[in-house]
Amino acid sequence: MDRTGGLEGLEVLSEVECLALLVRGCVGRLGFIVGGRPVVLPVNYSADELGVVVFRTAAGSLLTAVAHQPVAFEIDGVDPAHRTGWSVAVQGEATELTELGTPGVDRLRAMPVVTWAPGQRDRWFAITPELVTGRRLPVQGLEVGGGWYEGIVG
């Protein structure tokens, strides 16, 4: 398979590249279904070398609806000056980390998840990856307006 994955102009990232980007990040977007409708919310997170994503939230948060549900998690980076960027997506199931005293849960809850939102964030969740994918738009000589629009960075 070529590095474009059949998508002209995009480079498919290897799983190793995706995991390296995932581990370095701290903010992503979590997609899930609530009441039959899609929801996407930003979260602070930490990820381990296997791609397990851990985040914390408040007890009354909409994010608690992710427990035992399939979810999508995404991070990205952009360079507007060079009109390039990348994204990494994780698909998997979210579980609440409630079994304190078990090695797996204790290890995940020890990960450095620093929340930016104010208030108590003592509900811990992990996303176990079933699929990790990524794409990069390499730096190239694009003409102005060739896919990027002034003032919009995605």
Closest C-alpha among 62, 63, 61 to residue 53:
63
- Global confidence as pTM: 0.81
Average pLDDT over residues 139-150: 51
Helix then strand then coil, % of the chain, to nearest 5: 15, 40, 45
List the one residue out of 11, 154, 150, 12 whose CA is nearest residue 76: 154
- Please say whether the beta carbons of 74 and 48 come within 8 A: no
- Residue whose C-alpha is closest to residue 124's, from 104, 98, 93, 102: 98
Domain boundaries, the chain: 11-137
The answer to whether residues 121 and 58 touch, using CB atoms and an 8 Å cutoff, is yes
Which tens digit of pLDDT belongs to each residue from 64-91? 888 999 999 999 998 888 888 999 999 9
- What backbone phi and psi angles, to 5 degrees, belong to 28? -145, 180
Beta bridge partners of 71: 92
What stretches of the chain show up as alpha helix (H) in DSSP? 15-24, 103-109
Which residues share a beta bridge with 77? Answer: 86
Class of domain 11-137: mainly beta
For residue 32, the Cα-to-chain-centroid distance in whole angstroms is: 12
pLDDT 10s digits, 19-78 = 999 999 999 999 999 999 999 999 999 999 999 999 999 988 989 888 999 999 999 998
The span from the CA of 21 to the CA of 76, in Å, is: 9
Site of tokens 């409630």: 98
pLDDT one-digit tens code per residue, 11-21: 999 999 999 99
